[in-house]
Structure 1
Amino acid sequence: METALYLLPVTLGDTPVENVLPVYNKEIILGIKHFIVEDVRSARRFLKKVERSIDIDSLTFYPLNKHTSPEDISGYLKPLMSGESMGVISEAGCPAVADPGADVVAIAQRKNLKVVPLVGPSSIIMSVMGSGFNGQSFAFHGYLPIEPGERAKRIKVLEQRVYSEDQTQLFIETPYRNNKMAEDILKNCRPQTKLCIAANITCEGEYIKTKTVKEWQGKLPDLSKIPCIFLIYK
């Protein structure tokens, strides 16, 4: 296998690995001894899920999260610079997309090191696919402001972009605040604006439904404590 920084997608929940990841990914994973990971415990669980016989204790893990310094991140790539392949693992889905893995990929690119993204589930892409919204032009905004006034203002700005730029707008919320987010969208968007709620993508209980704001009124599902993406479009 070619020496590179491999970006290794993981499942979005308890989905069986074989349902969402190619066999090729497993072959690559088994050839890697150094992993840069968002969370060491979940990364170890994922690797055991890929191959039960894998010797976890023989592997080296480098934590990468919002507390990791740029100096530490740069030092993580020493094995790669010495000719050993490395893997990047996110908490869920695709690394480096709405994920701190992007920082190490940027350093690898600056150092002219080979980067190889592998195929796997992306809740962002899959929610656009399932929404029926514009897949030619869309923007993912991550988390919106928590403060009610700022949040309302941001929702209205994003809705305006739907109409002025013909662009699908995507954003997320912490799972325990999903219900409040859905209510805020209904409160601040026009009745004819379409809202798609995409939850538990690729997992048991997957829910992807598109309706107008007016049609959603009084009919919102309970979204508490489940991973969810909200999309708005016209």
Structure 2
Amino acid sequence: MSVLYVVATPIGNLEDITIRALKVMREADFIACEDTRKTRILTSKYHIKTRLIPYHEYNKKSAADAIAGGIMKGRDYVLVSEAGTPLISDPGSYLVRLCIEKGIKVVPIPGPSSVLTAISASGLNTSEFTFIGFLPKKEGKRKKLLAKLKDEKRVFILFEPGRSVEKLLADINEIMGNVKICYAKELTKIYEFIETKDVKTITEEIKNRPELTKGELTVIVDPSPIEEAD
């Protein structure tokens, strides 16, 4: 029986990939991708000819069955997400869980992660943290979860599309007060922006600079009052 390799890929800068990841991707029989178009940009840059197959939220059950079956017949598969480390706010957990249930070996190939990248430049106390990912889309559920997180003793990490980040910051300020956050945009990309300030200051800044609301955002929130956080 072969294995499933869970491979971390760049979150922006295509040079942020390990030698081991490239080797595994070249030698595997198939690469299962959340977005084949984005993965093809990476494989083309590094002249990787391995066949790409789709694995995403809408086909995960049938695709996972096919992948597990292929592994049990002796083929090696790589799982990659749209960007970064698989299984963080993506459908990869279904496939990994199925492989474990079937006794298939799962081998992680570590690398880039927007969560850890943002943490490393935040300046916040991140000795302990809670990862949340995307908040619920419905306003009531969103605010209810933020109210619950207000009592967290650790910083927590959110993903947010740029188009709705101003609403997120308004909700944080309304529910938690003027707490300190790290606002990380387009990590490792050309227009990367990372700033750690109180939420009101960052809200004013992005109102004056609308380009800061474009792209993918990682927001780290310290829910404790600023005087305590400092």
Q: Is the 8 A contact 1:33 1:60 kept in 2?
A: no
Match of 1:130 among 121, 129, 149: 121
Q: 1:113 to 1:134 in 2, by over 3 A?
A: farther
2:189 corresponds to 1:203: yes
2:157 is aligned with 1:157: no
CA contact (8 A) 2:89 2:134 kept: no
TM-score, normalisation: structure 2: 0.85
**Identity over aligned residues, as a percent?**
26
Unaligned runs of 5+ in 1: none
User: 1:145: how far off?
Assistant: 2.8
**Counterpart code for 1:225:** K
Q: Report the alpha carbon displacement of residue 229 of structure 1 after superposing the two structures with TM.
A: 0.9
Tell me the alpha carbon deviations over residues 95-131 of structure 1, each in whole angstroms, 9 at most, x when there is no partner.
Answer: 1221111111111111221111112210011112222
In structure 2, C-alpha distance between the alignment counterparts of 1:217 and 1:109, rounded to whole Å = 44
Give how far 1:149 is off: 4.0
Question: Alignment partner of 1:121: what SS?
Answer: coil
- Per the normalisation by structure 1, the TM-score is 0.84
**Distance apart, 1:217 and its partner CA:** 5.2
Tell me, in whole angstroms, the C-alpha distance in 2 between the residues paired with 1:181 and 1:151: 9
Deviations 1:46-82 (A, max 9, x none): 211222xx336xx251x22221253442222222112
Task: Give the counterpart of 1:190 among 157, 168, 177.
Answer: 177
Q: How many residues are aligned here?
A: 220
1:88 matched to 2:79? The reply is yes
Determine which of 156, 163, 180 is the counterpart of 1:176. 163
Counterpart in the other structure of 2:96: 105
| Secondary structure class of the residue paired with 2:204 | coil
Which residue in 1 is equivalent to 2:202? Answer: 216
* CA-atom RMSD in angstroms: 2.2
For residues 76 and 126 of structure 1, do their structure 2 counterparts lie closer, same or farther at Cα, with a shift above 3 Å needed? same
In structure 2, what residue type is equivalent to 1:224? T
In the alignment, the residues of structure 2 paired with residue 170 and residue 60 of structure 1 have an alpha-carbon distance, to the nearest angstrom, of: 31
Q: Is the 8 A contact 1:5 1:115 kept in 2?
A: yes
Contact 2:60 2:95 in 1 (8 A): no
Find the aligned partners of 1:174 and 1:185 in 2 and give their Cα distance: 15
Aligned to 2:9: 10
Query: Which whole-Å CA distance do the structure 1 matches of 2:100 and 2:168 have between them?
Result: 37
Name the CA distance, whole Å, in 2 between partners of 1:121 and 1:231: 17
Question: How far, CA to CA, are the matches of 2:103 and 2:126 in structure 1?
Answer: 32
Unaligned residue ranges in structure 2 (runs of 5+)? 225-230
CA distance in 2, matches of 1:99, 1:37: 11
Letter in 2 for 1:210: T
Asked if structure 1 preserves the Cα contact closer than 8 Å seen for 2:43 and 2:49, the reply is no
* 1:42 counterpart = 2:31: no
Quote the Cα distance in structure 2 between the aligned partners of 1:60 and 1:204. 27
In the alignment, residue 95 of structure 2 is paired with which amino acid?
A: V
Whether contact under 8 Å (1:186, 1:217) holds in the other structure is: no
Mapped to 2, the partners of 1:170 and 1:156 lie a distance apart of: 15
State the distance in 1 between where 2:144 and 2:114 align: 26
